[in-house]
Amino acid sequence: MRTLRLITRASALAAVVLLAGAQGARAQSADQTKTEAAAQAESSLYKRLSGYDALAAVSDEFLQRLGADKRLGRFVAGLSVDSQKKLRQRLVDFLCEKTGGPCVYTGRDMKTSHTGLRITEEDWKAGADALVATLDKFKVPQKERDEVVALVMSLKGDIVGR
């Protein structure tokens, strides 16, 4: 009988240890899942910018600002409605792809696209200012804004002076 009680106590103790371990593992697993979900949400600039519709809205505003600027309007003035739509779609697709979204940019490379436009350093600065103003209008958080600006700045050598 004493042996049976020892076995029962040992079994109960083992069950408690196993249960506690399982609950700890579940809690750790839940914490790990939360951490992975948070990391996944952070993983894509596209997601942090709120996806396709947000990029499309930013692109529309940015192109409108370019057209309204006396220095930059020459780059979009005279485009047919069809050409304006193509330019807009290319910009959206480019941003979508480069920020980690599901889009595929099918346009030409930046050097080819900007050759012959004779974009100056002053044009580039005005365009950068228009981009920052656009991002500010949409209240893009600083971290994401910095990443978008860095992405665009990385293209400068392919755009200016062509």
Domain ranges of the chain: 1-43, 45-159
pLDDT mean across residues, the chain: 83
Please check the confidence at residue 81 and state whether its pLDDT lies above 90.
yes
CATH number of 45-159: 1.10.490.10
Average pLDDT of span 63-92? 94
Question: In angstroms, how far is CA 158 from the centroid of its own chain?
Answer: 22
pLDDT of 14 above 80: no
Q: Which residue has the higher pLDDT, 148 or 12?
A: 148
What's the pLDDT score for residue 6? 38
Other Cβ atoms closer than 10 A to 46: 20
Q: What share of the chain is helix, strand, coil (3-state, %, to 5)?
A: 75, 0, 25
The pLDDT of residue 59 is above 60: yes
Determine the Cα–Cα distance for residues 124 and 161; give it in Å rounded to an integer. 10
144: exposed, middle or buried (C-beta count within 10 Å: 0-12, 13-18, 19+)?
middle
Q: What is the mean pLDDT of residues 83-96?
A: 96
Is residue 30 scored above 70 in pLDDT? no
Do 158 and 109 meet the contact criterion of CB atoms below 8 Å apart? Answer: yes
Q: Give 98's pLDDT tier (boundaries 50, 70, 90).
A: very high
Q: Is the model's pTM score more than 0.75?
A: no
Which residues, at least 6 apart from 152, have a Cβ–Cβ distance to it below 8 Å?
Answer: 128, 131
Segment 7-34 mean pLDDT: 46
pLDDT in tens, 116-129: 999 999 999 999 99
Per-residue model confidence (pLDDT) at position 43: 83
